[in-house]
Amino acid sequence: MSSLTDIIFLLLIFFMLTSTLVNLQPFELPESDSKTVAPTSVVVSIEKNGQHTVGSEDVSRSALERALRNEIANASTLEKESYTVTIVAEIGTPFDYVVNVMEISARLGVKAILATQPRES
């Protein structure tokens, strides 16, 4: 019975550590009814003014593909198979910016998802 307790304890520590590594910008996200939770490999934040952030590094729109390519290159082989770019776009961000990140992700052969917040009932 103690081995099961040890496993649960280790899982708890793992999830506590990984949840603190995900940094989201403090702005309001679009609302959604979706309850899907997906793994996050890298976060691309987009502000209304067009400012892009990959992880915690500010990048220009023209340097975005190079920054994502570097992030993917630094991932392990196992991680590359399920690599996911999470797009965190502030409400009011021109959709062209979001589409640009999605197209870059497709060219690099990785999945892209849009971060949302739960819709208030």
- The CATH number of the domain where 111 resides is what? 3.30.420
Q: What pLDDT was estimated at residue 114?
A: 82
- Count Cβ atoms within 10 A of the Cβ of residue 76 and give its class: 0-12 exposed, 13-18 middle, 19 or more buried: exposed
Q: What pLDDT was estimated at residue 36?
A: 65
Q: Would you say residue 78 lies in a domain? A: yes
Quote the pTM value.
Answer: 0.69
Q: Would you say residue 4 lies in a domain? A: no
Q: Would you say residue 12 lies in a domain? A: no
Whether the pLDDT of residue 78 is over 90: the answer is: no
Decide: 75 and 41 in contact? Cβ < 8 Å. Answer: yes
Closest C-alpha among 57, 49, 60, 120 to residue 89: 49
Q: pLDDT digit string (tens) for 81-100?
A: 788 888 888 888 888 899 99
Q: Would you say residue 54 lies in a domain? A: yes
The DSSP letter of residue 90 is: -
Q: Would you say residue 13 lies in a domain? A: no
Q: Which domain holds residue 100?
A: 24-118
Q: Would you say residue 103 lies in a domain? A: yes
Q: Would you say residue 34 lies in a domain? A: yes
Counted domains in the chain: 1
Please, how many CA atoms are within 13 Å of residue 31, restricted to the half-sphere of its CB? 4
The tokens describing 75, both together, are: 């991932």
Q: Would you say residue 101 lies in a domain? A: yes
